[in-house]
Structures are given as C-alpha cells and as structure tokens.
Amino acid sequence: MTTSAPPPLDPGQVWWSAPADERAGRPLLVLLHGHGMDEQMGAGVRDRLPPELVLASVRGPLRVRSGYGWFPLDASLRVEQVDEAAQRVARWAAGLTGHPSLGVLGFSQGSSVGLQAMRLRPELFAYGVVLSGFASPLPVGGDAELARRRPPVFSGRGDADGLVPAPLVALTDRWLAGHTTLTRRVYPGLGHDVSPAEVEDLAVFLRARLPGA
C-alpha cells in the first residue's frame, strides 16, 4: 500500500528574521517550535543569537489549543507522522538556496522533527540543535550516513525536566553520541524550558558554526 506525500510546507507560515532582500549569502538556521507553540519562537530568540544568522521559524501543521504542533501526543500518534513532518521541513529547506550553511534547531517536539529531517537527509543540514528534545526511537535509512558524517549537534536540557521520559532521554543521548559530534549540556534546576545560561552556550555553539569561524 502506498501513501501520498505530505502536503508542502506553506511559505506563509514561516517567520523570517530578515526581509527577502537581506538573506542571500548569509548562513541560515531553521527553527522548529514545541507542541502548542508557534513560529513566533524565532522572534523570541533573535536578539540572543549571532546576528550573522538568518532565522526561518516554521509553524507546525496541527492546530493545538492556542498554538500548533508537528504530530499528536496522544493515542492517535503514528511513527509515520514524525517522518511526514520531517519530510515537509526537509523538502522546503532543500529549496532555500544561496546560503553558505544550513542548520536546524528544534525545541521539545520540534527537535524530534529536526533530528528526523537530518536522519532522512544527512547531506542537507550542516548541524543541529536539540533543546529539551528527543529522537524517534526507530531506525531511519539515513542513520548510517549520518554516523559517517557526524555533524555537530548541541543538546541542552534541564535536570528537572520531567516532561520527556527518562528512558527516552537516555536513548536520545546514546543515539546522538553514536551518530553526531555531540556537545551536551545539562542545566541544574531547569525544567522543560530554555534558560539564559543555555542560550549563552547555544550562541557559542552557533558562532563556531559560522562560515570562516
């Protein structure tokens, strides 16, 4: 049985940190928000990240309360839905030409989609960021190639984050260590959130990813 490809990402549901005529030739970072959030996540972090970066913050396709999501977090969840969300992001990002580097950053559920996009298209993203996030537990066809490339990945989470189950955190840490060049930080007392100290560490990581750094 064949399934149809997920619908393309709507460009109107992307928040950009720079107007179209100021993006070419600059490194690009795609942002994927968490469950119940929206693309304005990009506006919230713009001033705390390297100004050389162009940010493209994408809205998830599912309406969730007052925000959006990438896939359901209830009994209706199918693993294929993570793939579908990641495929939409990867296909859209592959069409963003004219940038010397392309990274993907996800928070919570968005990090699962970002990692899955890297696994589906190992050649596409130069690096990744996982904030309070997790990896899909099932193997993906691009895993071996990703492990060969070992792209840089920053993973940050709080030690008081009880939202992501501990076994999934452990699985994600093992998977990242085996497939990426991992920078891992755990922040004491932080819950399912991002702290100023974490943003400072993230900015250092991103500056090191800039062309010519």
Q: Is 99 a catalytic residue?
A: no
CATH topology of domain 26-209: Rossmann fold (3.40.50)
Q: Is 4 a catalytic residue?
A: no
Whole-number Å distance between alpha carbons of 45 and 22: 19
Within 8 A by CB and 6+ apart from 15, the residues are 39, 40, 42, 43, 55, 56, 57, 59
Q: What is the mean pLDDT of residues 27-39?
A: 97
Q: What is the mean pLDDT of residues 73-79?
A: 73
Catalytic residue among 192, 193, 195, 201: 192
Q: Is 132 a catalytic residue?
A: no
User: For 103-155, how does the pLDDT look when each residue is reduced to its tens digit (9 = 90+)?
Assistant: 999 999 999 999 999 999 999 999 999 999 999 989 999 999 999 999 999 99
Within 8 A by CB and 6+ apart from 113, the residues are 32, 70, 71, 82, 85, 86, 89, 106
pLDDT band, very low/low/confident/very high, at 80 (cuts 50, 70, 90): confident
User: For 164-176, how does the pLDDT look when each residue is reduced to its tens digit (9 = 90+)?
Assistant: 999 999 999 999 9
How many alpha carbons lie under 13 Å from residue 191 in its C-beta half-sphere? Answer: 2
Catalytic residue among 101, 143, 161, 195: 161
Catalytic residue among 17, 38, 99, 108: 108
- Polymer length of the chain: 213
Tell me, what's the pLDDT at 1? 39
Residue 90 main-chain phi, psi, to 5 deg: -65, -45
Does the pLDDT at position 161 exceed 50? yes
pLDDT band, very low/low/confident/very high, at 2 (cuts 50, 70, 90): very low
Whole-number Å distance between alpha carbons of 24 and 2: 38
Tell me, what's the pLDDT at 4? 56
Does the pLDDT at position 8 exceed 50? yes
